[in-house]
Structure 1
Amino acid sequence: MDLIVIAVIVTALAFDFTNGFHDTANAMATSIATGALRPRVAVAISAVLNLVGAFISVQVAKTISSGIVDEKAITPAVIFGGLVGAILWNLVTWLLGLPSSSSHALFGGLIGATWIAAGADAVHFTTVVEKVLIPAVASPLIAGLVALVGTFLVYRITRGAGQRGVKSGFRHGQTVSASLVSLAHGTNDAQKTMGVITLTLIAAGSLPAGSRPPLWVILTAGLSIAAGTFIGGWRIIRTVGHRLTRVEPQQGFAAEASAATVILASSHLGYALSTTHVTSGAVLGSGVGKRLAEVRWGVAGQMVLAWLVTLPAAALVGALASRLALTGTLGTVIVAVVAAAAAATIYLMSRRNAVHAGNVNDDAESPATHRPTPVPA
């Protein structure tokens, strides 16, 4: 196996790791915010279920490895450039606490890198529109609508009942619903790295075109996303759990259940949607379902702006990295060094105002004072 192929595989697994901690909020932010699960327990459960989810399906992986770009027109160096674009965008949005899409960062990086290397014809834009862009718009709307209706019905049905008992019951229910989201996340997002590694092996001639991910690819991708999830993307967890809307157990359960349903259905159909878009849409829907004034639309607007910028921004960085990597070994080394330096800088910047398991529920910008009472682990 060529050195560049090994470098791409390692970089792909590094992206998978960033995907894990970037998207931990998708499954566990609302459960942590309501006190249904202690922060460390939540990320541990999510990590295990992300690993399990990686083995459930490979439909999304096949979409990426043989659908988004022409595997005959690219090289491992091109894929390396695309991954660098995706990783850097993930780190920037994590630093800002914005739940942007790791999936779209990956797609953008690959599209930009492929386009600059082999031209626009090497990008399957019909598939991009059908499998990426349409789900990107539809999935948060569908999840938000389902969560809105679910939240409204929950409050209607439990109206008049003892609220202490109701909230306690839904906190326990959140353990199940959040676990389903974690399982769904592993099913959908771990496959994206599987698809990238498989695409690399196809481009290098190690696998025939149209191949499924080998078992070792599935295992390493699952372990990488699980490890990243266990680290906990606390900055984004704070945004989703507190800054979007005040989340109560009833809302959290409705949001998680609707998100899990949409993600699992899409994974079965091979749609590489953004789990971030889905869960954020569901949380917003749960806020609207209870009371419109409780949604912080300014924060929601920042998120949507990040969603719109993600794909082109990652594409631009991916294209530049790919162009340099294609010049040869020296170019690839330069890209790797610059990317590592940028990642280290972002990490050091994050330490100035660190968010961790101990302070993730502290947020002065929360729409209302909300101090959930944690339940025993």
Structure 2
Amino acid sequence: MAMPVYNFGAGNPDPGSFPSQALAEATARVLEGAGETLVTYPDPKGHPPLREIAAERFKKNNGIDLPVDSIALTTGSMQAISLVCQAFLHPGDSIVTEEFSYSGSINCFRKFGVRMIGIPVDDEGMNVDALEEALKDLARRGEPLPKFIYTIATNQNPTGTMMPVSRREKLLSLAQSYGIPIVDDDCYADLLFGEPAPTSFYALDPDSVIYIGSFSKIMGPGMRLGFFAAKEETLAQVLYWKIDGGTNNFAAYVTAEYLKDHLWDHVREINGIVKGKLDTVVQQLDAQPDAFLGHSNPKGGLFIWVKLPEDVDPVRVLELATERNIRYGTGKAFDSQGRDVKYLRLAFGYASHRDFEEGLPLLADCVREARAITLEARV
């Protein structure tokens, strides 16, 4: 019998929450009513009704309007990040990011040949005092300022932290004083388990912030739909590099047709499902305190950041876990400086409760075994 696979690595939503039947019905309506339009190229900014839904989401989450004309659809939020890099960066430039950040963004920045200035993260996200010291140090040494500050302030990936509005305001004020734009990656904005998220950076200052959002986190990465928003000049500067002929109109039509009537019910459903899974993960982690020394306390999102013992070799843990078909995100994958840090990231959206109940004790055994090997090597 094949060994089970415990997939705690991919940031996917719960597979049972994917509305297959409702999407099939939405597809039929689109093909019946708008089929001929699908033989033409999309609007350069993307399907207007889906941009209207993005604006609706933004207003509900932030309390202010987001003009539809300031929004452009992309092939997932990752394309938006790549386009921003094309518009702003050259090899040798620097950018600021959280010390631990999304591995996809880190890989993108590396491919553009820029230096990442990693700022420490605490329980409230990026440490703004540390950011201020880093910027002062650059100024003292006469080095060029970073081209932008990239941050995931809401449900940070991988740490799961939530930056409070007071810290956002302080970070924004600091960025403004140095004339550095902010790239506000808010792709987890809808995944909340309690209180609303603090106001986004873009809502605080749309003139100096580029806002990035996603439909993938509430529908599924396979839909490949994201968006970004910016003031007119910046929007045009970024769209200049979008040379793909337009974002998938068929996917955009179907998603808009479904979400126009189901958006908030769907969001409530997936948040309830994922919160239940997070509770199971926390219970399992807390039951193995010798292997998992601590963890973040997410208020939403899809990820939890787990601290490993200092005397364990993360490479050996990964080897042992791979032998047992356990997948997770290594700390190194999310470290902006590429260090083999003693952390791992668990994604809790996709796997089942049973997977967590069986797989996390096995992962704890991998940590213990790796730790024993390390201790034996020191004797």
Q: Which has the higher strand share?
A: 2
Structure of greater Rg: 2
Q: Give the TM-score band, short-chain normalised.
A: under 0.3
TM-score (norm 2): 0.26
Q: Which has the higher helix share?
A: 1
